[in-house]
Amino acid sequence: MFLKEYISDVYNGVTSLLKGMRKTGYYFLHPKEIITEQYPDNRATLVLAERFKGEVVMPHDANNEHACTGCTACEIACPNGTIKVVTKFDITPEGKKKKAIDALVYHLELCTMCNLCVVACPSDAIKMAPTFEHSVFDRSKLTKILNKPASKIREGIE
Amino acid sequence: MFSLEGITTAVQDWLFIKFNPTLALAMECIIVILLAITLFAGLGLVLVLMERKVAARIQIRLGPNRVGPGGMFQTVADTLKLIMKEGLTPDSADKFLFNLAPFIVMMVAMLLLAPIAFAKNFQIWDINIGVLYISAISSLSVIGILMAGWASNNKYSLLGAMRSGAQIVSYELSAGLAVLTIVVLTGSLQLSEIIAAQQNGWWIFKGHIPAVIAFVIFIIAVTAETNRAPFDLAEAESELTAGFHTEYSGMKFALFFLAEYINIFIVCAIGATLFLGGWMPLHIGSWEAFNHIMDYIPSSVWFMGKTFFLIFVIMWFRWTFPRLRIDQLLNLEWKYLLPISLLNLLLVAVIAILGWHF
């Protein structure tokens, strides 16, 4: 039985090696599989993965409205104090006071792109954007206010 | 039709007419030396570029593509950089051996060039014990590696060199036995006779399955003998920084690097000569028209094509397989390759005696 085991060892070894060589041989013969991005030559046509996390942004729609309620869940979730939510009180048409954001201050220079704020947000107001060209000459330029000037919270988001 | 034989004969005739025989012979020697050095430099540049391109394609990358069209001059630029660099010798190293080692490795590679037939009647030295000469000389390269590892006075270098010693000594056996199968089939140690015996078909086809097994064992063993991945324990850059050439820099490092590629070329050339018919064109039985067309391709092109195909296969190994541990390496040799090649040699001897090959 030793011989049988020996021969099957050799057989299994050779077939598994050939399997690997088949895969790499396929890649060698199919240049269209190449995934290299020739950055910065192809800056216009650059394709980045969906999951790429470059910075936190707050999407605004056409009416300059966002979905942030100012609940500060992101600020609490952030492990290194990257986000600071400055809130204010709006007066609704019914005469009631309503909490809203004055500014969502985001310190890109402190951010580790851990995605915890995006996960914590109950109204999906912030997300990760696939941008990565963040170099600037002055550190203060990395402190960003995510909500656009004069933007409002979208109707129906509590 | 283009042939290197014509050029060599013309040069020889002209030299012997113009000068007296001694001077002509000396000049021929100088021409051969220059050609060998040119071949080495050219091969180094081409093979390094080829390796990088093959590696890139296999790993779904582009590889060098900035210097020259398609990255053609990348290796030229790298060589220039290495020439400019300072060749440091560590303070506590054995200076003489440290500086000698790269040249020993290079010299061994150059000596191996002698009996290889690059084309029809285009051979430096058609020695009648060519195969023995090759297996004897190729085992000398371990001296250079051990010398480099010992003289560096560095534990990584020493470990790499010791591993390399164990590896080369073990794998020489199965490489030698694989070569012997062809010697048994041909009945000659002379490379030109081995090639001539493959006039009507290459040994890998004529020798049935034992020749194929011998070929596979030969390729595995020479991959190990040239210290290439998956047998690159001597360098093992992730474990031993760079193994035996950790302390080398500049041109001395480049010589080691060059010698590795030259050794690959030489073992592939020997594999092509023994198993794939050297410069012999591909002939299929009695297909007269087909055979005639194949004869029109120059013999040097056949030889280079076969050699570069084998080099590609070895590069394919390198970028596919993970590195073996030292115990796995020795297991593979002593438990698998050696018994199989011994049995295989016995089979081939039976085939040769009974005349079962074509």
Q: How does pLDDT run along chain B (358 residues), one tens digit per residue?
A: 567 777 778 877 888 788 788 888 888 888 888 888 888 888 888 888 888 888 888 888 888 888 888 788 888 888 888 888 887 787 887 888 888 888 888 888 888 888 888 877 777 788 888 888 888 888 888 888 888 888 888 888 888 888 888 888 888 888 888 888 888 888 888 888 888 888 777 777 777 788 888 888 899 888 888 888 788 776 766 777 777 778 887 788 888 888 888 888 888 888 888 888 878 777 776 777 777 777 777 778 888 888 999 999 988 888 888 888 888 888 888 888 888 889 888 988 888 888 776 6
Flag whether residue A36 sits within 8 Å of chain B, measured between CB atoms. yes
Residue B78 in any domain: the answer is no
Q: Taking a C-beta distance cutoff of 8 angstroms, is the pair B267, B48 a contact?
A: no
Residue B243 in any domain: the answer is yes
Average pLDDT of chain A is: 85
> What are the backbone angles phi and psi of residue B228, rounded to the nearest 5°?
-105, 155
Residue B40 in any domain: the answer is no
Chain A: residue whose CA lies nearest to B63:
A36
Residue B343 in any domain: the answer is yes
Question: A–B: how many Cβ contacts below 8 A?
Answer: 36
Domain boundaries, chain A: 2-33, 50-153
3-state secondary structure of A60: coil
Q: Tell me the CATH number for domain A50-153.
A: 3.30.70.3270
Q: Is the ipTM of this complex over 0.85?
A: no
d(CA B244, CA B157): 4
> What are the backbone angles phi and psi of residue A94, rounded to the nearest 5°?
-80, 0
Angle among Cα A134, A135, A140 to the nearest 5 degrees reads 90
What domain range is B110 assigned to?
90-354
Domain count for chain B:
1
- First-to-last alpha carbon distance for chain A, in angstroms, is 73
**Alpha carbon of B149 to those of B107, B166, B327: distances in Å?**
18, 13, 21
Confidence tier at A137 by pLDDT (50, 70, 90) = very high
Yes or no, beta carbons of B54 and A28 under 8 Å apart: yes
Residue B229 in any domain: the answer is yes
Residue B132 in any domain: the answer is yes
Yes or no, beta carbons of A31 and B61 under 8 Å apart: no
Chain B: residue whose CA lies nearest to A11:
B336
Angle among Cα B288, B290, B291 to the nearest 5 degrees reads 65
Flag whether residue B61 sits within 8 Å of chain A, measured between CB atoms. yes
Flag whether residue B322 sits within 8 Å of chain A, measured between CB atoms. no
Residue B338 in any domain: the answer is yes
> What are the backbone angles phi and psi of residue B315, rounded to the nearest 5°?
-65, -40
Residue B162 in any domain: the answer is yes
pLDDT at B1: 59
3-state secondary structure of A127: strand
CA distance A146 to chain B (A): 37
